Structure 1
Amino acid sequence: MPYPDEDFLLLSGIQHMAFCERQWALIHLEQVWAENVRTVEGKHLHHRADDPFKDESRTTLRIVRGMPVVSQQLGLRGVADVVEFHAGREHIKGENCRLENRSGWWRPVPVEYKRGRPKPDDRDAVQLCAQAIALEEMLQLHIPSGFLFYGKTKHRQTVALDNQLRQHTFELSRRMHRLAHEGITPKAQKGRHCSLCSLTEHCQPYWMLRHRPVKSYLERMCRVDGEGL
């Protein structure tokens, strides 16, 4: 069921949700943000990719940078770093489309730019998948794969947009909407990812995990006092 316009969330947030749902809530619900080396490098990389005045046209390739995308199914809107449109002479239903002021048929391929190296999880892939789902809705076709470009390796990584990845993307988007609707910031879950997060000082995961509720503290103290009477 499509989401109402007022409930739409930022598409880029799905990567935060895949990394840590508390991080997503701090950024998107509590409006907390902090810079570190990784976020600054990422901004520079995306600035080059998202420049809308640097679109490129070739005989068989059209490159659109900073393309706005929206998905009614996911309830997400945002900007795709790069969408490549590859030319073809024949129409293949569900695979290619027309472009304004362009002859022939064009097959879209989303390309997401990331700093660093490929991740051991799918946090980057779900963001790419969400972009693809949005493009599919907008252009009325199917996109089987896309690319992740990493700043450290300077290479593209092909991502198959299979059913498993799509299902995970939908699950994450539903979780985002649920937390946004309830206004809930989840508790910290300590892990190796905490050392990579720019919000560690705001999140205070180790302090929160060590902290005992006041009720538990008072109950424990009462038991101790009772035993000494």
Structure 2
Amino acid sequence: MTHPNPRPGDGDQPQVALSWLEHYTYCPRQCALIVLEDAFTDDAATTRGTLLHQRVDTPGNRGRGTIRTLHALPVWHDGLGLTGTCDTVELHDNGTILPVEHKSGRYHPGGPADVQAAAQALCLQHMFQQPVPHAAIYSAADRRRHTITITPELHQRVEAATRAVRQLLTTHQLPPPTTDNRCRRCSMATTCIPTILTRTRPYQHALTDLYTLPDEEPTYP
């Protein structure tokens, strides 16, 4: 999914993009760098994702048997202040509405993709005024679709992530880096520089040296 720049809503709260929920759930600092500094960086994995989405992000609708498939459908939720675009939405003849989020990587149960897909389901439920109890995540790496149930717990995760992202938009403060296994898989590691920032003393020394005049003796904390 693309990274839209939502405008403030009718109220005082700024709108939150669906894709930001996944970024925040994966890593709050990654989300903040994207949202506050427009610092998104591509790598091989994100490029594969972009190429995958080119197949499904063309707006339109198609019929296949008893299923009507909508692509690149704009969605929103006024109450939560969410906005974004669903990769695919299936409308079944029995009234079932199923959002399908496409991912290039492997699916991890309970992971960030679940939060994004659940948020899409909540938006569709709000728009169509009927229950949307499930969402699906298609993993290109797994070559299969994974269906998730929108449980109350998952609903709460969506709401919590939405509040947290909105807090970032309000405070404009970057969270500290996590510096764990996620960093090795993150395309934004060179922008975030987590290893340097978490080694506080060497980082402070480097800053002190940077702003010390040649005839001055550096004073380290």
State the TM-score, normalized to the length of structure 1.
0.81
SS in 2 for 1:189: coil
Structure with max Cα Rg? 1
> 2:183 matched to which residue of 1?
194
Note the 1:4-153 alignment, pairs <5 A.
4=11, 7-53=14-60, 55-88=61-94, 106-119=95-108, 121-153=110-142
The Cα offsets for residues 6-25 of structure 1, whole Å up to 9 and x where unpaired, read as: 71121111100000000000
Cα distance 1:3–1:56, how it changes in 2: closer, same or farther (>3 A)?
same
How far did residue 152 of structure 1 move?
1.2
Report deviation, 1:120: 5.2
Q: Percent same amino acid among aligned pairs?
A: 31
**SS across alignment from 2:55:** helix
CA-to-partner distance for each residue in 1:196-225, whole Å, 9 max, x for gaps? 10110010000000023859x9xx968xxx
Kindly indicate whether residue 205 of structure 2 is the aligned counterpart of residue 205 of structure 1: no
CA deviation map 1:68-120 (0-9, x unaligned): 001122212110000000003xxxxxxxxxxxxxxxxx321111000121125
Matches of 1:133 and 1:194, distance apart in 2: 30
Provide the aligned length of Structure 1 versus Structure 2: 200
Aligned Cα root-mean-square deviation (Å): 2.1
CA contact 1:3–1:72 (8 Å) conserved in 2: no
Gaps of 5+ in 1: 89-105, 223-229
Q: TM-score with structure 2 length normalisation?
A: 0.84
Q: Is the 8 A contact 1:115 1:152 kept in 2?
A: yes
- C-alpha distance in structure 1 between counterparts of 2:178 and 2:196, whole Å: 11
